[in-house]
Amino acid sequence: MKRLSVFLISVILMISAVSCSESGENNTDISESVSESESTTQHPKRISSSPINPDIIGTWFGETNGYIFQEDRKVSLYMDFSSTLHFEENGSFMMQDKEITSENISYDGSVISVMYNVEVSDGMDIYEVVHLERTGEPNTESMDGEYTLTSGAYLKIISEFFGMNPEKANIKADIDGEKMYITVVDYCDYETLGNSLELFSEDMQYIDETASAVKYTFEIDGDTLTLTYQTGEQEILKRQEEKVNE
């Protein structure tokens, strides 16, 4: 796998490209449009055991994506999908520049379901784009809040892009007005040793068959985290007290 930030940005761009491709002209079904750039590979299970530098624990965010380094040695991936997927003030759902109007969206205060009509050769086909279940108390006045993405085409797209089984993936969506943030919960494990950082899981795609992790060096200066990939490419993130939408 390339540095993880490139992978995170690429999933946002892939979602955008899939959204833009939807029209009656090519009859593409986004439920089948999963990237094949990363094949699924199972690695031997590696256990995170070295001491963790406590300074790295927390939420760090760049321009469109970030990481939540947790005390339990897990890393959750945090992405701003707002430019690609979000709800409008009028209740419609936007996939890039394609609008799904409110009559195709149901919301009962707890569950959001977005349906999409696709023109096929023998008529129209309809499928669920996202099925979101609120994690907190019901709220019939607003869609804002945290949800679990439990089914729908985009659960399949996002989970399979990251090499995960959609039935086992834990993907959260935070809705805040016309903003939408996606969190892939407990995506991988991590270790720190000195100024080195390694991210690993059984499902991640490494740079070659002999690698056992995605490797960085890191430097923390106040509220700035600089990750330097093994090729020398850098990623600069800012510490967040909470996720950026909170």
How does residue 245 score in pLDDT terms, banded at 50, 70 and 90? low
Report which DSSP code applies to 43. P
- The reply to whether 245 falls in a domain is no
The DSSP symbol for 172 reads E
Report the C-alpha gap between 161 and 41 in whole angstroms. Answer: 12
Say which residue, 182 or 50, is predicted with more confidence. Answer: 182
Q: How many CB atoms lie within 10 A of CB 40?
A: 11
Q: Does some domain include residue 157?
A: yes
Q: Is 126 inside any structural domain?
A: yes
For tokens 């607003």, name the residue: 142
Using pLDDT thresholds of 50, 70 and 90, give the confidence band for residue 207: low
pLDDT value for 66: 92
Q: Rounded to two decimals, what is the model's pTM?
A: 0.81
Q: Is residue 53 pLDDT above 90, yes or no?
A: yes
With respect to residue 246, please indicate whether it lies within any of the assigned structural domains: no
Average pLDDT of span 217-229: 96
Are 180 and 87 within 8 A, CB to CB? yes
Tell me, yes or no, whether 57 lies in a domain: yes
Amino acid at 45: K
Q: Which residue range is the domain that position 227 belongs to?
A: 4-240
More confident residue, 185 or 16: 185
The residues that bridge with 175 in the sheet, in sequence order, are 145, 180
Dist CA 33 CA 129 (whole Å): 12
**pLDDT surpassing 90 at residue 86:** yes
Segment 152-174 mean pLDDT: 89
**Which pLDDT band holds residue 18 (cuts at 50, 70, 90)?**
very low
Mean pLDDT, the chain, whole residue set? 81
CA dihedral sign, ordered 79, 96, 134, 153: negative
The 10 Å Cβ neighbour count of residue 163 is 19
Per residue in 122-140, pLDDT (tens digit) is 766 788 989 999 999 999 9
Cα–Cα dist 230/175, whole Å: 35
pLDDT of residue 118: 74
Q: What pLDDT is attached to residue 210?
A: 62
Q: How many residues does the chain have?
A: 246
Query: Can you tell me which residue has the tokens 């979000």?
Result: 86
Report yes or no on 66 lying in a domain: yes
Q: Which of 84, 55, 81, 83 is nearest to 69 (CA)?
A: 55
Which residue reads 């991210």 in tokens? 199
CB distance 25 to 118 below 8 Å: no
Do the beta carbons of residue 229 and residue 213 sit within 8 Å? no
- Whether 67 maps to a domain, the answer reads yes
% pLDDT > 90, the chain: 50
Q: How many domains does the chain have?
A: 1
CB 112 within 8 A of CB 147: yes
Q: How many of the other CB atoms lie within 10 Å of CB of 149?
A: 23
pLDDT at 224: 98
What amino acid is encoded at 204 in this protein? M
Looking at residue 32, its pLDDT comes to 39
